[in-house]
């Protein structure tokens, strides 16, 4: 069995974009990480919201709002 070691040779000279578009996608946009954290926090907030006073919908929205701006 042969092993393969790959190193990218092109250094990123341009700045990272906030959004990926259909014509230009580099795979490292910032919005994807924020959305993943917003989903995770909203799931945790809504599951804890069943025992808290405001309920799961409000706590899910609060969790999504808290998770989105964590990526900067």
| Tokens encoding 71 | 């990526």
Give me the mean pLDDT over the 9-27 stretch. Answer: 65
CA–CA distances in Å: residue 42 to residues 26, 30, 50, 59:
27, 19, 13, 7
Q: Say which residues have a Cβ less than 8 Å from residue 56's Cβ, sequence separation at least 6.
A: 45, 46, 47, 49, 50
pTM: 0.60
Cβ atoms of residues 14 and 20 within 8 Å: no
Is the pLDDT assigned to residue 67 strictly greater than 60?
yes
How high is the mean pLDDT of the chain? 80
40-59 confidence digits (pLDDT tens) = 999 999 999 999 999 999 99
């Amino acid at each position: 069995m042969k092993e393969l070691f790959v190193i990218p040779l092109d250094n990123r000279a341009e700045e990272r974009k906030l959004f990926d578009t259909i014509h230009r996608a580099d795979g490292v946009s910032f919005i994807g990480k924020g959305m993943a954290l917003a989903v995770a926090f909203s799931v945790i907030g809504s599951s804890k919201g069943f025992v808290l006073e405001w309920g799961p919908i409000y706590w899910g929205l609060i969790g999504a709002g808290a998770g989105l701006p964590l990526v900067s």
